[in-house]
């Protein structure tokens, strides 16, 4: 048994309370590699931002859960080495799909877990979430639950259609399950292809797809039902078109990749939305930098030569999100 407290990590309780009160959102960046971890920590330290480093089922399969946990411990020490006296770093399990996975993570140094029972019938979702909450709270670990279904593909989580969260269910669900935060579905979507061509309109000047707006009416209704309760948005990459263009210009093929416009995420950050999940944008930033580097330096074969610009490009993206979209800078 390793408590996250021994690793210098924190849970989300105080962080979310401050974010909701302060009208900003905490970035939740997925990580699988050392370069992503370094870029996240550098960005958080430079911006004086709290940060959630999250691990998906796919990340555990790719990098190994134990290694990722030690990387999170390393992230805390690295942040201190970079001059941050009191880093606020959460190690979070993204889309835990069983009590057993959540327990394993809680027993191994995670400070926050998500139990995603959104695919289950309502009562079963409550029962599963409550079981995880009871175990987690006994170890002072916070729990994110999900109500409503997001469309799209994220590692092994996928759904063809979305079902918006029903505002009339949120009070009953959060009270009976005891969850600390709630992921809702208001039109965000997993992956780099969040919307089909048919769902979008086309910008006549650029020819780029313009996605449909998020359901802010539903978010407002949820806030009315649950004043001050921490709300989470998944699938909130904005799929920057300059990165997509770079990838396509240097041999990639990502037609019609489209994300959530940053203006809408900025608006959501000011509400009770206090955690915004960003994964695809990091993948795009890394891939764009590597493709460009390979095209410009066909003689390079030392991984450090192309991973360094990849890390720099991810760091630039993380800083942009913190400073210009979520507003979590200068909060340490
Ligand atoms: Zn998700």
User: Token pair for residue 101?
Assistant: 């996975």
User: pLDDT at position 209, please?
Assistant: 85
- Are 238 and 281 a contacting pair, CB within 8 Å? yes
CA dist 82 and 173 (Å) reads 41
pLDDT, position 149: 85
Distance 208 CA to ligand 1 centre (A): 25
- Nearest CA to 106 out of 73, 69, 51 is that of 69
- Distance from residue 297's CA to the centre of ligand 1 (Å): 36
Say if CB 185 and CB 162 are below 8 A apart.
yes
pLDDT tens per residue, the chain (332 residues)?
A: 999 999 999 999 999 999 999 999 999 999 999 999 999 999 999 999 999 999 999 999 999 988 999 999 999 999 999 999 999 999 999 999 999 999 999 999 999 999 999 999 999 999 999 999 999 999 999 999 999 988 766 555 566 667 899 999 999 999 999 999 999 999 999 999 888 888 888 889 888 888 889 999 999 999 999 999 999 999 999 999 999 999 999 999 999 899 999 999 999 999 999 999 999 999 999 999 999 999 999 999 999 999 999 999 999 999 999 999 999 999 99
CA distance 48 to 210: 33
What pLDDT does residue 158 have? 60
Q: Cα(144) to centroid of ligand 1, in Å?
A: 11
pLDDT at 151: 72
Instruction: Specify the pLDDT at position 256.
Output: 86
Q: How much distance in Å is there from the Cα of 172 to the middle of ligand 1?
A: 22
For residue 108, the model assigns a pLDDT of 95
Domains of the chain, by residue range, sit at 4-326
Kind and range of the H or E run holding 93: strand 89-96
Q: Cα 193 from chain centroid?
A: 16
Q: Distance between CA 233 and CA 222 in Å, rounded?
A: 13
Neighbours of 120 (CB within 10 A): 13
Question: Which of 126, 139, 56 shows the shortest CA–CA distance to 91?
Answer: 56
**304 Cα to the center of ligand 1, angstroms:** 30
Q: What is the pLDDT of residue 264?
A: 96
Kindly give the interhelix angle for 65-81 and 34-47, rounded to the nearest 10 degrees.
30
* DSSP-derived 3-state class of residue 15: helix
Give the 3-state secondary structure of residue 202: strand
Active site residues: 94
CA dist 114 and 11 (Å) reads 12
What pLDDT, on the 0 to 100 scale, is given for residue 145?
A: 98
Query: What pTM, to 2 d.p., does this model score?
Result: 0.96
Whether 316 contacts 44, CB under 8 Å: no
Query: How many A from CA of 290 to the centre of ligand 1?
Result: 26
Spell out the residues 6+ positions from residue 216 whose beta carbon is closer than 8 angstroms to its own.
186, 264, 267, 268
Task: Please name the helix (run of DSSP H) or strand (run of DSSP E) that holds residue 151, with its range, or none.
Answer: strand 151-154
d(CA 70, CA 66): 6
Q: Tell me which CATH code domain 4-326 carries.
A: 3.20.20.70
Half-sphere exposure at residue 302, Cβ-oriented, CA atoms within 13 angstroms: 4
List the structure tokens of 193. Answer: 């292809």
Residue 153: predicted pLDDT: 60
Closest-CA residue to 272 (of 322, 230, 236, 235) = 230
| Spatial distance between the Cα atoms of 20 and 255, rounded to a whole number of angstroms | 37
Cα 156 from Cα 186, distance rounded (Å): 21
Helix (H, G, I), strand (E, B) or coil at 26: strand
State how far the Cα of 84 lies from the Cα of 248, in Å rounded to an integer.
38
117 CA to middle of ligand 1, Å?
A: 12
What pLDDT, on the 0 to 100 scale, is given for residue 208? 83
The CA-atom distances, in angstroms, between 193 and each of 78, 198, 232, 285, 305 are 34, 12, 20, 15, 30
Place of tokens 């555990």: 60
The CA distance from 332 to 98, in Å, is 34
């Amino acid at each position: 048994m390793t408590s996250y407290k021994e690793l210098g990590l924190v849970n989300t309780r105080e962080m979310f309370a401050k974010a909701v009160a302060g009208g900003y959102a905490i970035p939740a960046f997925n990580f699988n590699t050392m370069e992503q971890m370094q870029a996240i920590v550098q960005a958080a330290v430079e911006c004086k931002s709290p940060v959630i480093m999250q691990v998906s089922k796919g990340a555990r399969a790719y990098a190994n859960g134990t290694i990722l946990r030690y990387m999170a411990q390393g992230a805390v020490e690295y942040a201190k080495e970079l001059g941050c006296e009191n880093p606020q770093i959460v190690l979070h399990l993204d889309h835990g799909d069983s009590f057993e996975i959540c327990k394993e993570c809680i027993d191994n140094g995670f400070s926050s877990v998500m139990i995603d029972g959104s695919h289950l019938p309502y009562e079963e979702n409550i029962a599963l979430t409550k079981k995880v909450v009871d175990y987690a709270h006994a170890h002072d670990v916070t729990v994110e639950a999900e109500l409503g279904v997001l469309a799209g593909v994220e590692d092994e989580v996928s759904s063809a259609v979305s079902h918006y969260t029903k505002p009339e269910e949120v009070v009953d669900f959060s009270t009976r399950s005891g969850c600390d935060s709630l992921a809702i579905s208001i039109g965000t979507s997993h992956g780099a292809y969040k919307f089909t061509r048919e769902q979008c309109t086309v910008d006549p000047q650029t020819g780029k797809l313009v996605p449909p707006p998020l359901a802010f009416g539903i978010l407002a209704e949820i806030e009315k039902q649950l004043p001050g309760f921490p709300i989470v948005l998944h699938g909130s990459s904005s799929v920057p078109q300059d990165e997509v263009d770079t990838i396509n210009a240097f041999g990639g093929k990502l037609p019609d990749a489209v994300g959530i416009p940053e203006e809408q995420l900025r608006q959501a950050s000011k509400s009770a939305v206090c955690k915004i999940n960003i994964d695809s944008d990091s993948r795009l930033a890394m891939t764009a930098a590597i493709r460009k580097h390979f095209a410009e330096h066909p003689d390079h074969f030392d991984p450090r030569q192309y991973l360094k610009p990849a890390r720099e490009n991810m760091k630039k993206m993380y800083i942009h999100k913190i400073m210009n979209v979520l507003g979590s800078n200068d909060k340490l």
